[in-house]
Amino acid sequence: MSYKRNKRVSQKSHGNSEVLFGPHALIECCRARRRRILSIYTTKPAPKAWRRVEGHIPKQVSVNYVSKDVLARMAGTTDHGGIVASVAPFVFDSSIFDSRKKPKIILLDTIQDVRNVGAILRSAYCLGVDGVVMCKKKGAPLSPVVFKTSAGLAEHLNIYQAPTMKAAVADLKKAGKKPLSVEGKKEGHWVLLDYGHVIIHVFYESVRNFYDLEGLWVDAKRIKTKSLIEAIKKTAS
């Protein structure tokens, strides 16, 4: 099995490797072929999911049989599905996406629950999102739990990591993704960026907490994401 080469930036990790756990996370890592699988650990007898996993594993990768306690220590949780892998670090895109080639982009800011991040990335992949911009400051990292919760689909996404939302918006602007209008820039405490189908609010944390938009709109009707994506496609075509 060959691995795709790409101009990306790997995230830092100890020992130049990361942990993945769960059958779906490992299967999609094998299918994406973006990073090398170093070794795999499972139990003997193997878990039921092993039959689905083993057919995707490159022949040169060693499989080691250990106890469930060892797997739990490696994964940092007992919710490992009986399979843990050591893999090369995930690699981020080294520059922001060209809006002409990748018009469907989502931005994640200050989302600290790793399971929420994983669920969003899973939905992003299923809905055909071209790129994901994650903000490093006050945001959850791409942890093993994120990959497990995304059912491994995060492996297939193009992800760019910006230091802050302000930097992400500036990078998007340089790449040609300009808002239709901007409000509040002069004062700078609460800036609203109107991108047509999506509106971005950039706050000082104290202002965000004071106005509590999430609480204000908690009972509002939810928009079906599929319809939103279709509208964006029509605009981009």
In a domain, 209, yes or no: yes
**219: phi > 0 → left, psi -120 to 50 → alpha, else beta; which?**
alpha
Residues 47 and 57 in one domain: yes
Q: For 181-225, how does the pLDDT look when each residue is reduced to its tens digit (9 = 90+)?
A: 677 766 777 777 776 666 777 787 787 788 777 777 777 776 666
Instruction: Among 42, 73, 90, give the residue marking a domain's end.
Output: 90
Q: Which contiguous run of DSSP H or E holds residue 220?
A: none
Residues 153 and 125 in one domain: yes
Q: For 95-141, how does the pLDDT look when each residue is reduced to its tens digit (9 = 90+)?
A: 888 877 887 888 888 788 898 899 989 988 988 888 899 988 888 89
Q: Is the pTM of this model over 0.75?
A: no
C-alpha–C-alpha distance, residues 104 and 123, integer Å: 13
Task: Supply the mean pLDDT for the chain.
Answer: 82
C-alpha–C-alpha distance, residues 144 and 138, integer Å: 18
Residues 198 and 154 in one domain: no
For the purposes of burial, counting CB atoms within 10 Å of the CB of 209, is it exposed (0-12), middle (13-18) or buried (19 or more)?
Answer: exposed
In a domain, 2, yes or no: no
Q: Which contiguous run of DSSP H or E holds residue 164?
A: none
pLDDT value at residue 206: 82
**Comparing 172 with 39, which gets the higher pLDDT?**
39
- pLDDT-based confidence at 18, cuts 50/70/90? very high
Its sign, for the CA torsion 128, 133, 138, 144, is positive
Burial 113-130 (b: 16+ CB within 10 A, else e): ebeebbebbbbbbeeebb
Residues 99 and 173 in one domain: yes
Q: Domain count for the chain, please give it.
A: 3
Angle at 132 between CA 113 and CA 154, to 5 degrees: 65
Residues 86 and 17 in one domain: yes
Q: Are 71 and 41 in contact (CB under 8 A)?
A: yes
**Comparing 17 with 192, which gets the higher pLDDT?**
17
Residues 99 and 32 in one domain: no
Q: For 88-103, how does the pLDDT look when each residue is reduced to its tens digit (9 = 90+)?
A: 999 999 888 887 788 7
Q: Are 84 and 14 in contact (CB under 8 A)?
A: no
In a domain, 232, yes or no: no
Whether the pLDDT of residue 10 is over 70: the answer is no
pLDDT value at residue 26: 96
Instruction: Among 159, 177, 195, give the residue marking a domain's end.
Output: 177
Which domain does 120 fall in, by range? 95-177
Share of the chain above pLDDT 90, in %: 44
In a domain, 104, yes or no: yes
pLDDT value at residue 88: 96
Residues 206 and 185 in one domain: yes
In a domain, 1, yes or no: no
Instruction: Among 57, 90, 123, give the residue marking a domain's end.
Output: 90
C-alpha–C-alpha distance, residues 169 and 42, integer Å: 43
Distances (CA, A) of 52 to 24, 25, 47, 57, 197: 9, 12, 10, 10, 40
Which CATH number goes with the domain that contains 25?
A: 3.30.1330.30
- pLDDT-based confidence at 165, cuts 50/70/90? confident
Q: What is the side-by-side order of every strand in the sheet holding 18-21?
A: 18-21, 83-87, 37-42, 62-65
In a domain, 236, yes or no: no
SS3 sequence, 65-128?
A: ECCHHHHHHHHCCCCCCCEEEEECCCEEECCCCCCCCCCCEEEECCCCCHHHHHHHHHHHHHCC
Residues 67 and 124 in one domain: no
Whether the pLDDT of residue 5 is over 50: the answer is no
Whether the pLDDT of residue 76 is over 90: the answer is yes
In a domain, 3, yes or no: no
